[in-house]
Chains A and B, each alone.
Chain A
Amino acid sequence: MRGTPTIDRQLFAVSAALMFFGLLTLYSAGQTDVPTRAAGVWSRQFIWFGVGVVAAGVAFNLSLRLLEWLAPAAYSFSLILLGVVLVIGTGAGTAQSSNSWLSVGGQQIGQPSELAKVATVLMLARYLSSRKEPPRSLGDLLVPGLIVGVPFLLVLKQPDLGSAIVFIGIAFAMLFWAGIRPRLMFLLASPVLSLLLAFSNWAWGAYIVLFTALLVAWRPYLSDSLVIWFLNVVMGAIALPLWQRLAPYQQNRLLTFLNPEVDPRAAGYHAIQSRVAIGSGGWFGTGYTEGPQKRLAFLPEQHTDFVFPIVGEELGFVGVVVALGLFLLLFLTLLRIARRATDPFSSLVTFGILGLLFTHVFENVGMTVNLMPITGIPLPFFSYGGSFFIICSVCLGLAFRVAWDSRQSGYPDI
Chain B
Amino acid sequence: MNGFDSYRVRERAEFARLVLLGAFLVLGSAFFRTQIIQHDKFQLKAETNRLRPIPLTPPRGAILDRKGEVIAENVPGYSVKLLAPNTDSLRAVLARMGRFVPLDTSDVEEAVRRFVRARYQPAPVFGDASFEIVARLEEHRAALPGLVIQAEPKRLYPAGKAVAHLIGYVSEVTEGDLTANRYPGAALGTIVGKAGLERQYDDTLRGGAGVRYIEVNARGRLVREEAGAASLPPTPGHPLVTTIDLDLQRFIDSIWPAGMRGAMIAMTPSGQVRALYSAPSYDPNDFVGGISTKRWRALNTDEAKPLLNRAIQTRYPPASPFKLAISAMALKRGLVGLETHMPTPCRGGMRLGNRVFRCWKKEGHGSLDLIGAVAASCDVYFYQVGLRLGLNAILDDGVLMGFRDKSGIDLGSEKDPIYPSSTGYFDRLYGPRYWSPPATTLNFSIGQGENTQTLINMMKFYQGLAGNGKAANPYIVRPSSDDVRSLGLTQGQLDGLRHSLIAVVERGTAAASRRKDLTVAGKTGTAQNPHGEDHGWFIGFAPADKPELVVGGIMEFAEHGTTVAPYVVRTLRRYLLGPDTVGTIKVKLLLDDAQSPQDSAPRPVELDPDSAAAQAVADSVRRAGAQQ
Contact = CB atoms under 8 A, between A and B. Distances in A.
Contacts of B217: 33-34, 296-298
B31 to A, nearest CB: 5
Interface string A23-51: 00000000001100000000000000000
B1 A131 contact: yes
Interface in B379-436: none
A362 B16 CA distance: 15
A282 B35 contact: yes
Contacts of B259: none
Interface in A343-364: 344, 347, 351, 354, 358, 362
5 contacts: A276-B49, A279-B34, A279-B42, A281-B35, A328-B24
Contacts of A332: 17, 20
B215 interface: yes
Interface stretch (B4-12, B95-103, B279-287, B580-588): B4-12
- Which of B16, B36, B45: most chain A CB closer than 10 A? B16
> What 9 A-B pairs have minimum CB-CB distances, sorted nearest first?
A279-B42, A179-B3, A280-B46, A296-B217, A134-B3, A297-B218, A317-B35, A369-B30, A298-B218
A277 B27 CA distance: 16
Interface in A188-206: none
Interface of A: 33-34, 129, 131-134, 176-179, 272-273, 275-283, 292-293, 296-298, 312, 316-317, 320-321, 324, 327-328, 331-332, 335-336, 338-339, 344, 347, 351, 354, 358, 362, 365-366, 369-371
A331 B20 contact: yes
Contacts of B136: none
A278 B34 contact: yes
Nearest to B24: A328
A266 to B, nearest CB: 14
B219 interface: yes
A371 B38 contact: no
B215 A296 contact: yes
B31 A369 contact: yes
Contact of A298 (B21, B35, B36, B50): B50
A280 B3 contact: no
B36 A34 contact: no
A351 B2 CA distance: 17
Given A129-B1, A133-B2, A328-B20, A279 B38 contact: yes
A283 B35 contact: yes
B45 to A, nearest CB: 5
A324 B27 contact: yes
A292 B46 contact: yes
B43 interface: yes
Given A279-B45, A344-B4, 9 more contacts: A134-B2, A177-B12, A273-B218, A276-B49, A282-B36, A293-B46, A312-B31, A324-B28, A327-B24
B34 A275 contact: yes
B42 A276 contact: yes
Interface string B244-261: 000000000000000000
B120 to A, nearest CB: 14
Given A176-B12, A278-B31, A320-B35, A293 B50 contact: yes
Contacts of B34: 275, 278-279, 312, 369
- Which of A132, A320, A336: most chain B CB closer than 10 A? A320
B66 interface: no
Interface in B11-59: 12-13, 15-17, 20-21, 23-24, 26-28, 30-36, 38-39, 41-43, 45-46, 49-50
Contacts of A277: 46
Nearest to A338: B13
Contact of B26 (A292, A317, A354, A371): A371
Nearest to B23: A362
